[in-house]
Amino acid sequence: MLKKILFVVAVLALLVPAGYARTIIKDDKGNALNPDWEYDGATAERKAESYNWPASYNFVELGRVKVKMDVGFWFKAVDINNKTIILRQVEIHKYAGSTTLSIVCNVAVALDWAFEPKANTIGYYEIDWGASGISPSTLDAPGGTVTLSLTLNAVDLSKSTGLVAGVCNEIGAFVIKVKPNVTPVLAGGC
């Protein structure tokens, strides 16, 4: 009988420290998490039945769908803010000048223009339509260089105010207009 008692005490002595040294990871409700992770000092144990083991489905390709987009029309006038048409007197009442401009585009374009004078700058004038304009007036993609020309006839400086001799006076703006030079499509390109 003494042997049995000593054996039970020895077994309990071995089990009690091991049971207290184990840490079982639990959720906030005190339930053991599956799989159970147990730590006892330098070792860690994992225990779970196959149906409790974390599993995941991996992504596999199902197929491919084409992606298309209609980029629309775009036009770019390169360095337009640094361009100036300087008109010089070529006759007593006639002034003319020109400059070049690079245009980049993704579609054929038609170009048009207008001259907008500043108020009270050059008085009376007539635009010489044969000598003024944009050349060429159409461009294909990817664009090119155009010449902007302006010739004013019958300029009457006596009716102008604010112009100073010997100074490059700003008298107006050469307005450039652009549109796609294609047949309109009412539905989108895609």
Both tokens assigned to 91: 């006759």
Both tokens assigned to 31: 């339930």
Q: Which of 86, 116, 110 is nearest to 98 (CA)?
A: 86
In sign, the C-alpha dihedral spanning 74, 79, 80, 85 is: negative
Q: pLDDT-based confidence at 11, cuts 50/70/90?
A: low
Environment class of 106 (CB within 10 Å of its CB; exposed 0-12, middle 13-18, buried 19+): middle
Mean pLDDT is lowest, of 4-18, 59-73, 80-94, 158-172, for 4-18
All domains of the chain in start order, with CATH: 2-47 (no CATH), 75-180 (2.60.40)
pLDDT tens, position by position, 26-80: 667 777 665 556 666 677 666 666 766 777 888 888 899 999 888 889 999 999 9
SS3 7: helix
CA distance 161 to 35: 92
CA distance 190 to 183: 16
CA distance 146 to 45: 79
